[in-house]
Amino acid sequence: MTNTTTPGRLLLASGSPRRAELLAQIGVPFTQLTPSVVEQRQPGESPQEYIQRLAHNKSSVGLQSSEDPEGLWALGADTIVLSGENVLEKPRDYAGFESMMLALSGVEHSVLSAICLRNADRQFSRLVETRVRFRHLSKPQIEVYWLTGEPVDKAGGYGIQGMGAALVESISGSYSNVVGLPLEALIPMLEHAAIPYWQESQS
Ligand SMILES: Cc1cn([C@H]2C[C@H](O)[C@@H](COP(=O)(O)OP(=O)(O)OP(=O)(O)O)O2)c(=O)[nH]c1=O
């Protein structure tokens, strides 16, 4: 499973409980901190460049915040929903949420996650796209979903791992990528870094 004898330690530099659950699902021991990074797209920066920069910055902040960097790898990630060229952020209010859902209704959109795993000397980065098609949604359905409270802290206004699963007609690509951490891309990185998975207990 690993290619060196000294195991790496993982710091998840993200406050996302979904990312923590995905790491726990595959038995990765890790610690977690919420990095303080300004999430603001720069003029002229593409959505892809933007989330790769954020993932890199989150991992850098994570690494710098550690008092014991020996053997430490910091993982940063960022996830966005793209409808055509439009980045759909976390919805601020019902009007914004409703227009997001109407834009996503019956069509395919992209969910992009960037991940960056780094230590003091090396870094591994990946950008992963999943295509998701929503069912046709009625305005009453959109309102009922809003009232569940689920959309509010989610990029694109839905959570595929929760009640939002009922919005989805089909998915092409990585499921865990939509939730926020593409495990298929992450596993080879963990192996390069000699970070174990399939461990029974979490630290
Ligand atoms: C589309 C979709 C998004 N999301 C969530 C994942 C992320 O938590 C969130 C995207 O916001 P992010 O800014 O990527 O992550 P975060 O704010 O939760 O954590 P941090 O900035 O500390 O790393 O949207 C779901 O949980 N399910 C989904 O189906």
Active-site residue 68, yes or no?
A: no
User: Cα–Cα distance between 192 and 1 in angstroms, integer?
Assistant: 9
Q: Distance from the CA of 48 to the center of ligand 1, in angstroms?
A: 16
Alpha-helix runs per DSSP H in the chain: 17-25, 47-64, 94-104, 139-147, 175-179, 183-192
In this prediction, residue 203 carries a pLDDT of 47
- Whether the CB-CB separation of 64 and 58 falls below 8 Å is answered with no
In this prediction, residue 7 carries a pLDDT of 85
Residue numbers in the chain where pLDDT is lower than 70: 1-5, 201-203
- With a 6 A CB cut-off, is 174 part of the ligand 1 pocket? no
